[in-house]
């Protein structure tokens, strides 16, 4: 299967995997699954690092690659798809991740209860 990690799920996976449910850990560990992180998440982490709200290493991309996680770029079509997404969530980063999951037939892994309200297949982290 193909999964998209919410930003906090990636951070927990890298720093404290015990914060994740055993189901989420099993999915990420299973090499038969393809795990993605969005460029949107990289953007979000970079902004939070710049604001002093998050500490990530300068080699974060290499760290992610070493985990076998694939990168997913945001397309222009996905950006336009935001117009049709219900306004259940105010976080623009999460809204972009939701639309990417929908456009790319990915299962999201998240702990965010607002994301779980969207018509997207998700696994609770």
For residue 35, the domain's CATH number is: 3.40.50.1010
User: What is residue 88's predicted lDDT score, i.e. its pLDDT?
Assistant: 83
pLDDT reported for residue 87: 83
| Tally of domains within the chain | 1
Give the other-Cβ count within 10 Å of 51's Cβ: 8
Cα–Cα nearest to 87, from 110, 62, 117: 117
pLDDT (tens digit, 9 = 90+) per residue, 28-76?
999 999 999 999 999 999 999 999 999 999 999 999 999 999 999 999 9
Reported pTM = 0.94
CA distance 106 to 15: 24
Least confident of 3-12, 13-22, 77-86: 77-86
pLDDT category of residue 122 using cuts at 50, 70 and 90:
very high
Domain encompassing residue 107: 2-124
């Amino acid at each position: 299967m193909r999964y998209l990690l919410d930003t906090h799920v990636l951070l927990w996976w890298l720093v404290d995997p015990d914060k994740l449910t055993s189901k989420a850990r099993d999915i990420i560990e299973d090499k038969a699954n393809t795990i993605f992180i969005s460029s949107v998440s990289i953007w979000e982490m970079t902004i939070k690092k710049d604001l002093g709200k998050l500490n990530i290493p300068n080699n974060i991309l290499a760290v992610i690659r070493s985990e076998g996680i694939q990168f997913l770029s945001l397309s222009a079509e996905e950006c336009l798809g935001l117009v049709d997404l219900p306004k259940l969530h105010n976080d623009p980063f999460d809204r972009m991740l939701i639309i990417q999951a929908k456009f790319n037939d990915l299962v999201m892994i998240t702990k965010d209860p607002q994301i779980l309200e969207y018509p997207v297949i998700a696994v609770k982290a």
